[in-house]
Amino acid sequence: MTYAVPMIGSRWPQTVLLLALTAFLAGCSSVLSSPQSAHARHIVGDVVKSASGDRHDDINGFARSTVAKIGGVGAVRDVVSLVGIEELEPSALGDPLGVLTFRVQLAATQNGFGSEAAFDACFGIEFNYYGVTDDRIWEGVNHLRDSACPVDVGPVVPPIDTSVVYVVAANAEDVAMRVLSEVASVAELEGSDIETRILALLDVPSGVFEELAPPSVVVADGNVGVAMGNTPRNCVLVARVDGVVSRVMPAPVRLEPGELGCQPETALMDPEYLGSPH
């Protein structure tokens, strides 16, 4: 690439400036266009995006999710590993939970088009409750930057998750619809009576740290709303309005924290408020 530089006095300073600028641009271009570096960024991007659909209260949850992703794909397992977990203390929902560091090691390659040197570098990715903090990850991975890994770096194992997980029963929707359909007169029942009837029929989870997600019921003006779960992925909403029982399915964003949420009141809301706001 040629740059036109105005002649001011001696050509020597301008020549030095032009050479320095050319070297700088060439260096930037090589970093961003290196096939090995680009491949590494895509590998890390795929791993962290796969974990961003989950919801975790601490960085260790995302560490476990990414390790599971890496372990489940042979081609990925051979070249990338989790080598660092840094915990942060968030003060509000959406604040960073911590940083995960991934090491990517790619062997040198050679073919008819040329050769590429071996690649060995680390990537630090910040997470919050919703996943990767930097939303640019959904548009591409060119913003990801690698850095030299510490000499003694090695794979780390996330701590085992011993927190209780509330599981929505597989038959939650069928049971809620059945109970609400069998209720002859809602006026004669309290919400707690309906909760008890539903709870008695739900399948009990068998996992070591799993507990049944209990139903939550609201009775208002002869109508009933039932909710089970706490995230867009596992929320079950059923309503009985004017004697008609139906499953209620809001836009997922409406079930997020800070929105309507997975609440029995949500099941009774006017459908026009349950669609996506965008």
The band of 6, judged by pLDDT with boundaries at 50, 70 and 90, is very low
Out of 8-22, 67-81, 238-252, give the one with best mean pLDDT. Answer: 238-252
pLDDT reading at 190 higher than 90: no
Plot region of 221 (φ>0 → left; ψ -120 to 50 → alpha; else → beta): left
The pTM of the full predicted model, rounded to 2 decimals, is: 0.58
pLDDT of residue 33: 52
- The larger pLDDT score, comparing residue 14 to residue 96, is at 96
In 3D space, the residue among 211, 210, 213, 178 whose CA is nearest the CA of residue 197 turns out to be 178
- What would the pLDDT profile of 125-153 be if each residue is shown by its tens digit? 999 999 999 999 999 999 999 999 988 89
Res 10: pLDDT:
43
In the predicted model, what is the mean pLDDT of residues 30-53? 84
pLDDT digits (tens, 9 = 90+) for 72-124: 877 788 899 999 999 999 999 889 999 999 999 999 987 767 788 999 999 99
As given in the structure block, the two tokens for residue 274 are 């349950």
55-69, 98-112, 174-188, 238-252: the lowest-pLDDT one = 174-188
Q: C-alpha 257: how far from its chain's center?
A: 14
